[in-house]
Amino acid sequence: MKLDLATTLALRADASDRSLAWPVESMNAVQAAGGLAWSIPKEWGGMEWSPVERLAGHEHLASGCLTTAFILSQREACVRQLLKAPRSLQERFLPDLLAGAYGTVGLSQLTTSRQHLGPSLLATATDRGYQLDGSIPWVTGADQSQVIIVGATLGDGQQVLVALPPDRAGVTIDAPLSLSSLVGSRTAEVRLNAVEVERELVVAGPTEQVMGQVGGGGLETTNLALGLSVAAIDLLQASACHRPELVPIVETFRGAADSIRQQLHELVMASEADAVMAVRVAGTKLALKTTQTALLFLKGAGFVEPHAAQRLARQALFFLVWSCPRPVASGVLDDLLSGLSDFRVGRE
């Protein structure tokens, strides 16, 4: 990994955040630095970095450009599922992904999105495999992808993952969503109408909870929040030489970031559901606090586009909605509501 990769990505971070254009130059920079090979096994020509090395690499990317890091996180989720899939699917897709093709996932309907409304994507068994009907509410880079790992629910409640080529008949990719940040991720809803998927494209299942028990977006989501926090801390650090009162604040935030990083690196080797949720809450709180503190001290100058402070503050809000199940939301809400009794007015 080139040491200046985050700096290179930061040069285009504002455009990637606000423009619908796919961040081709940033993606090319990551590929040139070997980033597309980090998670690919050596037998396929990849670098096969350790889980801790990958976390460190993606934290570095997020500190430069969260939009690019988010896009790559969805590609990494695709790779992770393919590495657990039958070898025939690995042979079909991994070489192209290593060469620069984009793969993504459509899995939120199995974990967080619209769970209160029931399954949004249904799978019906057929003689050849499955028929898919419904929608996938959140697919990053859908119109840029060559394969989407899709999760669907069968009538008996079991779930199945399939590798869906998006050019299949019956697949409609909507226009990208009008997000408040990360616009360049071209995240869109994908609709499926009687889409046929042969059995050879099944990645996993059918089974109950095909995604497993660990929720909260996993460690990767928290890792990107950490990268964003580091970017905000660096902004504060740059101002600290002129504002001595910032020095203890920066030191406190650095200590918190170091603690979260250590927990992430430990958990990636032995993940526990409760601990994953706890560190996700801590990572989200740190992202909110560091970015808002940066905006507080940079004042009006930081609130004007394209200053990084306003962008980081907006992007931090994304972690309130991305893979944010109820336990994580409750933990963050407790922090937001703490101290509200101080605002009570009037007589007892």
Higher pLDDT, 339 or 254: 254
- The single-letter code of the amino acid at 244 is P
Percentage of the chain modeled with pLDDT above 90: 76
Residue 48 has pLDDT above 70, yes or no: yes
> Which of 2-6, 14-18, 239-243, 331-335 shows the lowest per-residue confidence on average (mean pLDDT)?
2-6
Specify the pLDDT at position 212.
Answer: 72
pLDDT confidence tier of residue 116, bands split at 50, 70 and 90? low
pLDDT digits 0-9 by tens, 199-236: 999 999 899 888 874 444 579 999 999 999 999 999 99
Residue 290 has pLDDT above 60, yes or no: yes
How high is the pLDDT of residue 216? 44
Cis peptide before 306 (omega within 30 of 0): yes
134-161 pLDDT per residue, tens: 999 999 999 999 999 999 999 999 999 9
At 306 the pLDDT is 84
C-alpha to C-alpha distance for 142 and 166, rounded to whole angstroms: 8
Is this prediction's pTM over 0.95?
Answer: no
Query: What pLDDT does 89 receive?
Result: 97
CA dist 276 and 261 (Å) reads: 12
Q: Which of 39-53, 65-79, 268-282 has the lowest mean pLDDT?
A: 268-282
The pLDDT of residue 271 is above 90: no
pLDDT tens for each residue of 18-43 = 999 999 999 999 999 999 999 999 99
Instruction: Give residue 132's pLDDT.
Output: 97
136 strand-pairing partners: 190
Helix 218-240, helix 273-302: angle, nearest 10: 30
Q: How many CA atoms lie within 13 A of 262 on its CB side?
A: 6
